[in-house]
Structure 1
Amino acid sequence: MSSPTDSNTNPLIAFSQNLADIVEAVGQSLVAINGQRFPCSGIYWRDGLIVASEETIKRTEEITATLPNGETAPITLLGRDRSTDIAVFKTEASLPVVSIDSDGELKAGNLAIAVGRDAERGLFVSQGVVSTVGDSWRSSLGGYIDRFIRLDLNFYPGSGGSALVNAAGSVVGFNTTGPRRSILTIPAATINRVVDQLVEKGQINRGYLGLAMQPVYLPEALIAAFTLNTKQGLMVVNVESQAPADQAGIMLGDVLLKIEDTPIARLREVQAYLEPQNIGKTVTIQLIRAGALQNISLTIGESGRSK
């Protein structure tokens, strides 16, 4: 007769052992990033490259990483993108490249395994579930995130940048904190896209208008007069000299209604047009100026260049 502790007949023992094996395998690609105000984890994503949560990176010089074997190695910040919360480091250390699943079909209720590394205590794990999976979204800074993934698990010190691992043992992204201390995952597809750009340029140059705007409600008389299908617009409160908006003739007090045929009532709807692929593109902006409806052509500039 088989013993209750026999892993061949007890599914709980088999599950526990499989989970431990997955954590051990992923852990060989995880580092602890030192020299920061708060501890954080990093993932050996590609040969010579470590990715981490940008919001955890406060220092940019004299940074080291604690490797799986306990040794400490210097790492150099290659680039960072606040809008997607991604930082990339170069390292001379050689670790196994993590197994990545950028196409996995996560569902609410799937097992969520967060694996990180602490410089003193080594590997740590938090297990929970994927609580929400949604479509692409934009961060408060306008960064395009390919999928919305929210987790229900404990977030320990050092969990920023920890790997989200699926039941197959592949990494589907890294974990970070969102609004109201929610736990979100930056998916692998987003990480790959941003890493490509940071490796090539060292930064993410996005579209640039040179405008400061704030949402405003439109008077009912204007809505009726122009048969508008929106009750809000974005009022211009500042125009940078010689910026694309200034060169296009946009003025203080203008109320922007549309870019192309898309209504813009929130800043995030403008940010959607400022992805790198739109740099240099000429768009038509519909606005209200002094009670009159106007269309203005504007060529999207590039952030980071002299204005």
Structure 2
Amino acid sequence: MNIAPNSYSSTRRRLTLAAASLAVIGTVGATAVLSGTAPVQADAVHVQAPQSTGFADIVERVSPAVVSVKVKSTIQPAADEGSDDQDGSDNPQQRGFKHGDGKPRPVAQGSGFFISEDGYLVTNNHVVSEGSSFTVVTSDGKELDAKLVGTDPRTDLAVLKVDGGDKFTYVNFADDSKVRIGDWVVAVGNPFGLGGTVTSGIVSARGRDIGAGPYDDFIQIDAPVNHGNSGGPTFNLNGEVIGVNTAIFSPSGGSVGIGFDIPASTAKQVVEDLMKDGSIKRGWLGVEIQPVTADIADSLGLKSDKGTLVSNAQDAGPSKKAGIIAGDVITQVNGKDVDSPKGLARLIGAYAPGKSVDVTVWRDGKSQTVKVDLGTLPSGDKQGSSDDGKQAAPAKADALADLGLTVTKSDKGKGLVVTDVDPSSDAADRGIEPGDVITTINSAKVGTTGDVAKAMSDAAKAGRKAVLMQITRDDTNRFVALPVGKG
């Protein structure tokens, strides 16, 4: 076996040649140096760019106004000694334990910020909602007792007050109408209990609706925020609060760069009301509403799909008393355009109960104005009718082939009951199901297939591409636009 030696001899020869080469190169190099003809090296790459000052100056000024919020709750002794000892919460911020001794225990920890020199501070409702006592920890480590002034679950905002005579560093709300997508922002808060944490990013989007409530209008940022940042501020480069951290989108539970802020304009108004009265009272119109689609707009002769469609005017609501009816499209309130159901909710909610407002509606192909005296927004949803909705079996079913529907007369004498839906039809695509009751088409009551045919013919003569059907299901109204002459 001579493989290893041969390999070693070959390697040794290569090393010897390499050394010889180095000797020659070294001699040449030495000669060049001695003769003063050494090659000149080019300069290393260097770009003269504007130097960023970072966020240190902003953070230094605003940090004393940002606090950690610790929440405790008095847990009552469990009635059943064999009950589960966990609090059952799926909120990652919750840290509750049912010890059963009646003593205050930690249940949540979040962030907040002072908005006045005398100790008023803002945080999230979901941070304080389960608490009975509250402690704020300032940037220099002081722990101060705080009392709850008021909460607003609909916007997820709360106000606390710290007493003690100290003059606190505080911050102001920005004019968020000037906030632009791409603006730099800085978030300061208490993620995972790590107080005084600073992150930066940009405004990623505006007007986000994440399904949190009727007043969704969030500013989206990519500055990392995590559990514990809730209630903390997001600042612009002037040290003003553009929004209050309230939610994140996170498949993993940690920041993935998608955070949501309550806009400063919303927070400022709610906070002022909470400081004044301890609660929020909003105006109430008393309507069930849905978006106006392009098909619905065309069926009603509207030029655009702005506004919001009234699917039902509640019996005890102010709108019904004022004459608003199902099928009306609300386009303005006191001259302000209504662009969507959320927009209507925000407009009405901004008025106090008892306020008289002019509501502009589109009805029968023209605009008209209705004066409504707003009520007080109820704390819970209105319950529907107690009618059990049972229907007798249809004696005869008529087909509306063009619409992909089979219908029969309602045994209650109002409308047509859908008994079958062609799965390949536009009606099926738009969610119409057997059992639905068609009560009107283009605001005209229907009780026979002849009524439907007439409504279709009238729509075609008027140059409309769709008809608007009012559908009742489980005592709830909605409107569906179906193309004319299409199955």
TM-score normalised per structure 2: 0.48
2:195 corresponds to: 122
1:211 corresponds to: 287
CA distance in 1, matches of 2:180, 2:157: 24
What code does the residue aligned with 1:244 have? P
Output aligned runs, 1:154-303, within 5 Å. 154-177=224-247, 182-215=258-291, 227-229=301-303, 234-237=309-312, 239-241=314-316, 243-250=317-324, 254-260=326-332, 266-277=340-351, 279=353, 280-284=355-359, 286=361, 297-303=371-377
Using the TM superposition, give the Cα deviation of residue 187 of structure 1 relative to its aligned residue in structure 2, in angstroms: 4.1
CA distance in 2, matches of 1:103, 1:179: 25
CA distance in 2, matches of 1:168, 1:284: 39
Picking from 152, 161, 177, the partner of 1:81 is 152
Output aligned runs, 1:50-65, within 5 Å. 50-65=121-136
What code does the residue aligned with 2:235 have? V
What code does the residue aligned with 2:232 have? S
What code does the residue aligned with 1:102 have? A
What code does the residue aligned with 2:319 have? A
Tell me if the contact between 1:30 and 1:117 (Cα under 8 Å) persists in the aligned partners.
no
Tell me if the contact between 1:206 and 1:274 (Cα under 8 Å) persists in the aligned partners.
yes
Tell me if the contact between 2:248 and 2:259 (Cα under 8 Å) persists in the aligned partners.
yes
What code does the residue aligned with 2:62 have? V
Moved more, 182-191 or 262-271: 262-271
Gap runs ≥5 in structure 2: 1-49, 72-92, 95-107, 251-255, 383-487
Structure 1 pair 202/175, CA: closer, same or farther in 2 (3 Å)?
Answer: same
Using the TM superposition, give the Cα deviation of residue 89 of structure 1 relative to its aligned residue in structure 2, in angstroms: 1.0
Using the TM superposition, give the Cα deviation of residue 174 of structure 1 relative to its aligned residue in structure 2, in angstroms: 2.7
Moved more, 48-57 or 176-185: 176-185
Q: Percent identity?
A: 25
What code does the residue aligned with 1:256 have? D
Tell me if the contact between 1:131 and 1:150 (Cα under 8 Å) persists in the aligned partners.
yes
Structure 1 pair 163/95, CA: closer, same or farther in 2 (3 Å)?
Answer: farther
Using the TM superposition, give the Cα deviation of residue 223 of structure 1 relative to its aligned residue in structure 2, in angstroms: 5.4
CA distance in 2, matches of 1:217, 1:156: 37
CA distance in 1, matches of 2:294, 2:192: 55
Using the TM superposition, give the Cα deviation of residue 166 of structure 1 relative to its aligned residue in structure 2, in angstroms: 3.4
- The SS at the match of 2:348 is coil
Using the TM superposition, give the Cα deviation of residue 79 of structure 1 relative to its aligned residue in structure 2, in angstroms: 1.8
Higher radius of gyration, 1 or 2: 2
Picking from 112, 117, 137, the partner of 2:185 is 112
The CA deviation string for residues 59-103 of structure 1, in whole angstroms up to 9 with x for no partner, is 242222223343433222212234443211112153533243624
CA distance in 2, matches of 1:284, 1:24: 49
2:413 corresponds to: none
Tell me if the contact between 2:122 and 2:157 (Cα under 8 Å) persists in the aligned partners.
yes
CA distance in 1, matches of 2:336, 2:172: 36
What code does the residue aligned with 2:356 have? K
CA distance in 1, matches of 2:113, 2:268: 13
When the two chains are superposed, the root-mean-square deviation of aligned CA atoms in Å is 4.3
Picking from 99, 110, 121, the partner of 1:40 is 110
- The SS at the match of 2:227 is coil
Tell me if the contact between 2:185 and 2:234 (Cα under 8 Å) persists in the aligned partners.
yes
What code does the residue aligned with 1:52 have? T
Structure 1 pair 80/240, CA: closer, same or farther in 2 (3 Å)?
Answer: farther
Tell me if the contact between 1:53 and 1:85 (Cα under 8 Å) persists in the aligned partners.
yes
Using the TM superposition, give the Cα deviation of residue 42 of structure 1 relative to its aligned residue in structure 2, in angstroms: 0.5
CA distance in 1, matches of 2:226, 2:359: 48
Structure 1 pair 281/139, CA: closer, same or farther in 2 (3 Å)?
Answer: farther
Structure 1 pair 234/263, CA: closer, same or farther in 2 (3 Å)?
Answer: farther
Tell me if the contact between 2:152 and 2:279 (Cα under 8 Å) persists in the aligned partners.
yes
What code does the residue aligned with 1:159 have? N
2:44 corresponds to: none
Moved more, 24-33 or 229-238: 229-238
Number of residue pairs matched? 284
CA distance in 1, matches of 2:204, 2:291: 32
TM-score normalised per structure 1: 0.71
- The SS at the match of 2:269 is helix
CA distance in 2, matches of 1:265, 1:106: 21
What code does the residue aligned with 1:67 have? T
1:6 corresponds to: none
What code does the residue aligned with 1:129 have? I
- The SS at the match of 1:274 is helix
CA distance in 2, matches of 1:229, 1:245: 25
